[in-house]
Amino acid sequence: MLQVKELRKRFGDREAVSDISFTVNKGECFGLLGPNGAGKSTTISMISGLLSSDHGDVEIDGLSVKKNLMAVKKKMGVVPQEIALYPTLSAKENLYFWGRMYGLRGAMLKKRVDEVLEIVGLTDRAKERIDQYSGGMKRRINIGAALLHQPAYLIMDEPTVGIDPQSRNHILETVKELNKQGMTVIYTSHYMEEVEFLCERIAIMDHGKMIALGRKEELYQYLVGGTSIRVVTAGIHENWLAKLKEMANVQNIVVQEDTVILSTSNKQELIHQVIATAMDEKIEIQTLDIQELNLEAVFLHLTGRSLRD
Ligand SMILES: Nc1ncnc2c1ncn2[C@@H]1O[C@H](COP(=O)(O)OP(=O)(O)O)[C@@H](O)[C@H]1O
Ligand SMILES: [Mg+2]
């Protein structure tokens, strides 16, 4: 079990992480979701002992990161957001280097490097230099490096940012498979689809704070209505907004410039009403889209902003 207890970190006068606490159970794939700048990497760096916290601690199987860093490091494989590989060495040589750093030697080192190359699907490309690799292949080797010492916990910081879709799918499938085989995972991302695909329990962070934590179904309950309807217009009038606010079907309403987001449990009726009132008020609708329950809609509901802003 991994317990994050009231972590706090300040950079100058900015509190990057404010009292973050959560527990990750053995065998779980836990998602840490939040937009850029939310404090995800700072949190991950404190969990892995790379950065010291101003307050709070992390316990892994009862061992404190503050007091037992060396013992804790053996249990954790960390995939940092920045790629840490030697460009002029081959993929295999890089893995040998990292394996030695983890204390592996001889036959055991060779065995683990071969196994890890299989896991990340790059056995046939292992002898090529890293600077010949695509961004996605580099990422996969970076993940491989974190797996060499057979950690019980895998901690990944945005492992799919800026890579090709094929490598991205490969990484997602690899994480799913590792988790199925018993690996406990903390998966950090600002892509809600990835967290939704991989994780059962999720923490949502924004501006250094935890804004929601729970199983997916629990998070979906923030959207009382169940459906969110987004209407982009050429310009909103107050009259129309007043009519929307009065509608019995509207559970929640968020206005962002020329866009209105409504949540409802009766989408068909609300769509008809939205269009009818827009016609009465001479509002030009540019797009109208319907978002069923997903984490993007939960984030929007909690913050009034879209996850990718
Ligand atoms: N070393 C640092 N020095 C100063 N500010 C930092 C440092 N690292 C992160 N920050 C700031 O802390 C906040 C959280 O950053 P980060 O943890 O990287 O967020 P995320 O990984 O969710 O994008 C941001 O406002 C960022 O600019
Ligand atoms: Mg980050």
pLDDT, tens only, 260-275: 988 888 889 999 999 9
Ligand 1 contacts CB of residue 56 (under 6 A):
no
Q: Does residue 195 fall inside a structural domain?
A: yes
- pLDDT score, position 215: 93
pLDDT the model gives residue 302:
83
Atom of ligand 1 nearest to the CA of 44: 17
How many structural domains is the chain composed of?
A: 2
**Pocket of ligand 1 contains residue 40 by CB under 6 Å:** yes
- What is the model's pLDDT at position 224? 65
Rounded (10°) angle between helices 106-119 and 91-101:
130
- Asked if residue 213 and residue 98 are part of one domain, the reply reads yes
Q: Using one digit for the tens of pLDDT, what is the confidence trace for 114-156?
A: 999 999 999 999 999 999 999 999 999 999 999 999 999 999 9
Q: What is the pLDDT of residues 159-183, one digit of tens each?
A: 999 899 989 999 999 999 999 999 9
Classify residue 112: in a domain, yes or no: yes
Q: Is residue 50 part of a domain?
A: yes
Where in the sequence is the domain holding 172, given as residue range(s)? Answer: 2-220
Distance 133 CA to ligand 2 centre (A): 23
298 within 8 A of 204, measured Cβ to Cβ: yes
Q: Is 279 in the same domain as 136? A: no
Together in a domain, 84 and 159: yes
| Residue 303 binned pLDDT confidence (cut-offs 50, 70, 90) | confident
Q: What pLDDT score was predicted for residue 306? A: 76
User: Where a domain ends, among 173, 194, 220?
Assistant: 220
- What span, in angstroms and rounded, lies between the C-alpha atoms of 274 and 287? 12
Residue 261 sits in a domain whose CATH number is: 3.30.70.100
With b for 16 or more beta-carbon neighbours within 10 A and e for fewer, the 97-133 pattern comes to ebbeebebeeeebeebbeebbebbbbeebbeeebeeb
Burial class (CB in 10 A: 0-12, 13-18, 19+), 210: buried
The ligand placed nearest to the CA atom of residue 16 is 1
> Nearest bound ligand to CA 10?
1
Give domain status of residue 126, yes or no: yes
> Is 66 within a domain?
yes
Find, among 213, 230, 170, 221, the residue nearest to 194 by Cα: 170
pLDDT tens for each residue of 4-37: 999 999 999 999 999 999 999 999 999 999 999 9
- Specify if 301 maps to a domain: no
Say if residue 309's pLDDT is above 70. no
Q: For the chain, how many residues are written?
A: 309
- Which atom from ligand 1 is nearest to the alpha carbon of 157? 21
CB 190 within 8 A of CB 35: yes
Query: Which of 171, 189, 220 finishes a domain?
Result: 220
> 136 and 174 share a domain?
yes
Identify whether the C-beta of residue 97 lies closer than 8 Å to the C-beta of residue 86.
yes
Confidence of residue 184 (pLDDT cuts 50, 70, 90): very high
How far is ligand 2, taken at its centre, from the CA of residue 7, in Å?
A: 16
